[in-house]
Amino acid sequence: MALATLDYLYCTQDDLNSFLSVAGVLGRVDDENTGSIDAEGQGYIDAAINWATARCNFYLAPKYDHADLATDYVVNEWCAMLAVHWLSIRRGNPAPGSFEDHYKEVLEDLASVRDGTNQLDLGLREAAWPAWSNVRVDPAYLLRKARVERPLSEQGPSGRPSPGSGITQNVDITANWIPRPL
């Protein structure tokens, strides 16, 4: 059963060829020594690219949008290096020393972006500043008397509260309203 292809891929087979050369890629996927890349070999290349893209998403997708990551040169280089490393060790062979060092460097860079030590030159998925809501006390309610003043509170681009706030706002439901006795 084949895995589904991701919506955005961050590198291509040409990127792998630039790291390994055409002969280098062929040597890593041509298990039958036919001298060409057959359907099985192409499947290994596709699996390497999908795995590398998924690994980049693991580190970068919480902060950056997939469409933006697909256009970034640094992400392209990281993804290609991860895919090349995967192809190199696919049959249980050790990766070449220079690739192993570069692979470790890429993982350190990805971790530093995830941890916030470094940033990509892309827009963040969420606002980097805190959000707030202005509230008032509404004595007409017995429970949850603090009500958000939506026209005065921080608004996101869609007119709703900012998605980066992490605070869900209560929605007034008429069944929760209990009239006060006179």
pLDDT single digits (tens) 3-51 = 556 788 999 989 998 988 888 888 888 877 888 888 888 889 999 999 9
- Range(s) of the domain holding residue 64: 13-115
Of 63, 80, 115, the position where a domain reaches its end is 115
> Would you say residue 8 lies in a domain?
no
To the nearest 10 degrees (0 to 180), the angle between helices 73-89 and 97-115 is: 130
Whether 48 and 137 map to the same domain: the answer is no
Whether 94 and 53 map to the same domain: the answer is yes
Q: Please tell me which residue, 74 or 128, carries the higher pLDDT value.
A: 74
Taking the alpha carbons at both ends of the chain, their separation in whole angstroms is 69
Whether 131 and 86 map to the same domain: the answer is no
How many separate domains does the chain show?
A: 2
> Would you say residue 121 lies in a domain?
no
The per-residue pLDDT for 19 is 86
Is the confidence at residue 52, as pLDDT, over 50?
Answer: yes
Whether 22 and 110 map to the same domain: the answer is yes
Whether 177 and 91 map to the same domain: the answer is no
CB atoms within 10 A of CB 92: 5
Q: Please tell me which residue, 81 or 156, carries the higher pLDDT value.
A: 81
pTM recorded for the entire structure: 0.68
Of 83, 115, 147, the position where a domain reaches its end is 115
> Would you say residue 7 lies in a domain?
no
Contacts of 78 (CB under 8 A, 6+ apart): 10, 56, 106, 109, 110
- In whole angstroms, give the CA distance from residue 114 to residue 107: 10
